[in-house]
Amino acid sequence: MSRLPARWFAVIVLGGLASVLVAAVVLLRLGVTDPSPPSLTRDPNPAIPGDLLYLDSGSCLVLARASGESSRSVHCTGLMPRRLFFLGQQEAGYLVSSISGETLVVVDLQSGAEVERRTVGPSDFPELLAPDGTRVFRRDDGRLDLIRDGAVTGTLSFPGLDWAPEHVGWSPDSQWLAFLYFPPRERSAELWLVSRDGAIRGTLATNATGSQVAWRIEGLPAWPAPPR
């Protein structure tokens, strides 16, 4: 049995080492990498085209320039819509489920007022396909394969993450993808925009929610296409 001073010396050394290690990681964030891309609201990127419609953490529709130059809250839904759509230049819509089926709520983008509600036919959105038919395949190693016509046309990786963020939309030109990243410690979900080749990335919002975004680019049909 060791002498008392030597024993307490060991307690101080081991306890001190444990404290230093914890402080270095928690307070100084040594060895901790932030997987989030640069903020587009702080540093807009004009290379990312078009407008996005997404839900914020208060379930409000937000219309934002994809480049990050501007954004504004349009309309608070009070619930969690299943799907978002651009309906022309002035209107947007979201799908809510009801006993009678799917209801499309149409909202004026300028005033934010609800324009109409109409029942639409059963809609089927089995997966988030790109306009050109590309689909995203989630791999076990945290990467995503982009598959078109049965061939892998690209792979996206997300350094610092074991599990890729949730894919929530495509741009109408099929060149950009939107992802929702759910960080730990109860921070709100982040909306990431990533180019198809993975070279350009940005964080458009840090208070997003939902399961899908709508995207429009001038001169192209908005994506996803609205229900009939």
Partner 1 sequence: MTEAEDALRRWAEAGLIDAETAERIRQFEAARRREARPGIAIPPGERPGLVEVLLYLGIAVLSVGVFALFAQGWSGLQSLPRLLAVGIPAAFALLVGALLRTLGEPGYRRGAQFSWAAAVALAAGTVAVLLYEYEPLGISRDDDQAAMLIVAGVAVALALLLWALNPATFQVIALAGSLFFLGQAIGNWPESFSARLAALSLVAIGTVAILLAELGALSPRPAARAAFAVVLAFGAYQPGFRDGGSPWELLAFVAAAALLGLGVYRASFAFVLTGVALLFIALVRAIFQNFSDQVGAPVALIISGALLIAAVLLLARLVPALRRGQPA
Complete edge-to-edge strand list for the sheet that includes strand 151-156: 135-138, 144-148, 151-156
Q: Which stretch binds partner 1 (CB under 8 A): 19-27, 85-93, 121-129, 194-202?
A: 19-27
**Burial tier of 21 (Cβ tally within 10 Å: 0-12, 13-18, 19+):** exposed
Min CB(26)–partner 1 separation in Å: 6
Residue 184, interface with partner 1 (CB under 8 A)?
A: yes
Stretch that binds partner 1, among 22-30, 61-69, 78-86, 205-213 (CB under 8 A): 22-30
Residues in the interface with partner 1 (CB under 8 A) total: 30
Q: Which of these segments, 57-65, 101-109, 124-132, 178-186, binds partner 1 (CB under 8 A)?
A: 178-186
Residue 6 binds partner 1, judged by CB under 8 A = yes
Binding flag, residue 79, partner 1 (CB under 8 A): no
Site string for partner 1, 131-160 (x = CB under 8 A): -----------------------------x
| Shortest Cβ 199–partner 1 spacing (Å) | 22
Q: Quick one: which of 43, 98, 121, 185 contacts partner 1 (CB under 8 A)?
A: 185
- For binding to partner 1 (CB under 8 A), which residues are involved? 1-2, 6-11, 13-15, 17-18, 21-22, 25-26, 31-35, 160-163, 183-186
